[in-house]
Chains A and B, each alone.
Chain A
């Protein structure tokens, strides 16, 4: 049985399910159990599972990550959450030097089975240090897994897979997806990492996307379809492990690749995907692969400056048109958007 949930409710349900199934699951983070409960994602958990397993914490990101690592060595399954990715930078020593390497550097004994939920901001003046997308950093580190769900269904299944994975998992939630709604089964289920989902199958061009940009790609693809352009949209769901096969299969059909990445251009996952395709499918490409990313500049606060910072559906449609040599009139798509560019929709009124 399923019913419609939003992303936050799906995360909340995954947490409650995990804590019910396994008494070793614990959940903590700054704001867990406070009146807002991390955008509602940890609502009711403390009442249900008790303050020993669900707790707010000192403002000590680094130590608390190490404490999660230590607890995991004795079999606990900590789920830690940060309301913005940027604050988690204080904990990189524990993530990179300990969590990621513990299993390998001690010869394969214990592993740091921890889940780190990171929420990424965008728009509404979040600015340079409240809207960073650092998934490429995490994906670069051997020993980490990096998951980027796009919708409530995937959020529940991927979070349950993360919590019960014996390895450290960075679970990235885009704040703009928190309001998204989808049918979510009542029963527990896990979605394997490294299995991308082809949301739309097309013949002319392959768009590879993750997280929030998948939605923009989907809108662009639907708009293009009405103009006779058939675009594949692949939602990666996890970037480490990365599902090369699904990307390759689609590009073998279309011969054209556009990678969307909500991150700065230089050193991006988009660059890695293009390198993989260029190295493996060079002869099958009809033209050079392209990527759309954020500029190599911090994300500014002013709405005047963010207008051209984030790739949106009309930009994606225009890019596809350019690659195919077609005039697609992206202005018509832009006109369909009834809310300002710096919010995800009517449901979001700030402040973060």
Chain B
């Protein structure tokens, strides 16, 4: 798929939106009204925006703890996201899940879960059901580099290859599992994509600095996965700007090499894309300001919605532990 100016602008708008939403969350987090652990995607907007533009509305997505960007890019409701962070009844999970458990079924965002690698097999199960239903849709599984160290990743990848499931693994490699660098977790010079390739996934590694190049490469791999029904693994090199969990910067702790931090700040994919589209006159500075104003309004609206929404009724605490519907006609018998 050619990355047209329209697509490029849409990518810019989505990345900007994700960045501005996350920054607004970070700015307001100290108010203490978003009372849940929150993993921001600032710096990692590109993979989400690219996948969001390539997935169809009825394709399915699962994700992990750092899922705001994936949820938004797939079409999840911003209002319901912010309300979820506020623990409100109008949140996407009605305040039961918090930042780490997002869902928007209508948008095909089937759920994000908090335990590392835990949603990976769920995504493959969606793929199995899609295959059994002869659907042309695919299931996209977002995971981080840490998840590739979990056994369930290999178990799932193996089954996906075995059964040729319509599944794409998108591995955002930001180099760190909380504070632990890849160097303490994997042997030197190992590519995560080579692990995935060894198990039979169509695998490759793509950099996210050049968003348009990322889009073109992921598009080609997605096309192959969709048309040839071969599960794919795409490792995307990216960088988290803020702390693992929470609103702050934490590079004062010195756990990341200053040169690495400087490199990514100098190569912010969002800023580089914006400059390029301005240079190529795909957008004017006036157009950019309009775009930003629109996003700001949407964010303001979402926060107002969240703040104005009611909390869940405490009496409903134990509701919904079980589902009650019964859709089969087999008779019940008593004692």
Q: Taking beta carbons and an 8 Å cutoff, which residues of A are in contact with B?
A: 17, 21-22, 26, 52, 57-58, 60, 62-76, 93-94, 97-98, 102-111, 113, 142-143, 145, 157, 160-161, 164, 166-167, 188-192, 195, 197-198
Answer yes or no: B259 CB below 8 A from chain A CBs.
Answer: no
B121 contacts which of A26, A67, A110, A189 (Cβ < 8 Å)? A67
Choice from B96, B123, B334, B335 contacting A70 with Cβ under 8 Å: B123
When the two chains form their complex, are residues B92 and A107 in contact, meaning their CB atoms are under 8 A apart?
A: yes
From A64, A74, A166, A192, B323 is in contact (CB under 8 Å) with A166
Chain B residue nearest to A65 (CB atoms) is: B121
Contacts A70-B128, A70-B129, A106-B101 known; list 5 others, CB within 8 Å: A70-B125, A71-B128, A72-B125, A73-B122, A103-B320
> What 1/0 mask marks residues of chain B from 16 to 35 whose CB sits below 8 Å from any chain A CB?
00000000000000000000
Which residues of A have CB within 8 Å of B328?
A: 21-22, 164
Within 8 A of A (CB), among B129-166: 129-130, 132-133, 139, 151-152, 155-156, 158-159, 162
Residues of B within 8 A of A166 (CB): 323-326
Q: Within 8 Å of chain A (Cβ to Cβ): is B258?
A: no
Say yes or no: B93 contacts A71, CB within 8 Å.
Answer: no
Q: How far is the CA of A69 from the CA of B159 in the complex (A)?
A: 15
Beta-carbon contact of A107 and B320 below 8 Å: yes
Q: Which of B32-79 contact A (CB under 8 A)?
A: 62
Residue among A17, A57, A70 with max Cβ neighbours from chain B (10 Å): A70
Instruction: Report A-chain residues with C-beta under 8 Å of the C-beta of B232.
Output: none
Q: Within 8 Å CB of B159, what residues of A?
A: 57-58, 60, 63-64, 67
Q: Determine the residue in chain B with the shortest Cβ distance to A107.
A: B94
* Chain B residue nearest to A63 in the complex (CB): B155
Asked whether, in the complex, the Cβ of B96 is within 8 Å of the Cβ of A191, the reply is no
Q: Which residue from chain A places its CB closest to the CB of B332 in the assembled complex?
A: A190
Task: Tell me whether B184 is interfacial, beta carbon within 8 Å.
Answer: no
Q: Which residue of A lies closest to B125 (CB)?
A: A70
In the complex, chain B residues whose CB is within 8 Å of the CB of A57: 159
Are B155 and A60 in touch, CB under 8 angstroms?
yes
The minimal Cβ–Cβ distance linking A65 to chain B, given in whole angstroms, is: 7
What separation, in Å, do the CA atoms of A24 and B125 have in the docked complex?
13
In the bound assembly, the distance between CA atoms of A231 and B94 in angstroms comes to 49
CB neighbours of A160 from chain B (8 A): 330
A160-B330, A189-B331 known; A106 and B97 CB under 8 Å?
yes
Q: Indicate whether B211 reaches chain A with its CB closer than 8 angstroms.
A: no
Q: Is B269's beta carbon under 8 Å from chain A?
A: no
| Top 10 A-B residue pairs of the complex, sorted by shortest distance between their CB atoms | A70-B125, A66-B121, A107-B94, A63-B155, A60-B155, A74-B129, A67-B125, A70-B122, A107-B93, A111-B323
A residues near B95, Cβ cutoff 8 Å: 107
Q: Is the CB of B125 within 8 A of A93?
A: no
Count of inter-chain pairs, beta carbons less than 8 A: 173
Cβ A68 vs Cβ B125 within 8 A: yes
Which residues of chain B come closer than 8 Å to A189, judged between CB atoms? 330-333
Q: How far is the CA of A68 from the CA of B151 in the complex (A)?
A: 17
The distance in angstroms between the C-alpha atoms of A75 and B325, with both chains bound, is 13
- Residues of A contacting B107 in the complex (Cβ-Cβ under 8 angstroms): none
A94 and B105: CB pair below 8 A? no
Using Cβ atoms and an 8 Å threshold, which residues of chain B touch A69?
121-122, 125
Q: A105-B96, A143-B322 are in contact. Are A97 and B118 (CB under 8 A)?
A: yes
Chain A residue numbers with a CB within 8 Å of B139 are: 70
Which residues of chain B come closer than 8 Å to A195, judged between CB atoms?
334-335
Contact of A74 among B115, B133, B326, B333 (CB under 8 A): B133
Does B110 lie within 8 Å of A104, measured CB to CB?
no
Whether B225 sits at the interface, judged by CB under 8 Å, is no
Cβ distance A265 to chain B, nearest Cβ, rounded Å: 28
Query: How far apart are A164's CB and chain B's nearest CB, in angstroms?
Result: 4
Nearest-Cβ distance from residue A83 to partner chain B, whole angstroms: 18
Interface residue B124 (Cβ < 8 Å from any Cβ of A): yes
C-alpha gap A240/B95 in the complex (Å): 26
Cα A195 to Cα B93 in complex, Å, equals 32
A107 with B97, Cβ < 8 A, contacts A58-B162, A97-B115, A97-B118 known: yes
CB neighbours of B322 from chain A (8 A):
103, 111, 143, 145, 167
6 A-B contacts (beta carbon < 8 Å): A21-B328, A21-B329, A21-B330, A70-B139, A94-B121, A106-B92
Complex contacts, A65 vs chain B, CB 8 Å = 121
Write the nearest CB–CB distance from B67 to chain A, whole angstroms: 12
The CA of A107 and the CA of B97, in the complex, are separated in Å by: 7
How far apart sit A97 and B150, CA to CA, in the bound complex (Å)? 15
Instruction: List residues 95-124 of chain B with CB under 8 A from any CB of chain A.
Output: 95-97, 101, 103, 105, 110-111, 113-115, 118-124
Q: From B123, which residue of chain A is reached at the shortest CB distance?
A: A70
Task: With A76-B132, A106-B97 as known contacts, state yes or no: A98 contacts B332, CB within 8 Å.
Answer: no
* Contact between B156 and A164, CB atoms less than 8 A apart: no
Return the chain B residue nearest A241 by Cβ: B322
In Å, the complex CA distance between A278 and B334 comes to: 28
Q: Does B231 contact A (CB under 8 A)?
A: no
Q: Which residues of A contact B105 (CB under 8 A)?
A: 109-110
User: In the assembled complex, which residues on chain B have CB atoms less than 8 Å from the CB atom of A76?
Assistant: 128-129, 132
B142 CB to closest chain A CB (Å) equals 14
Chain A residues contacting B114 (CB-CB under 8 Å) are 97
Tell me how far the C-beta of B134 lies from the nearest C-beta in chain A, rounded to whole angstroms: 11
Judged by a CB distance under 8 angstroms, whether B260 is at the interface is no
CA distance A69 to B133 in the complex (A): 16
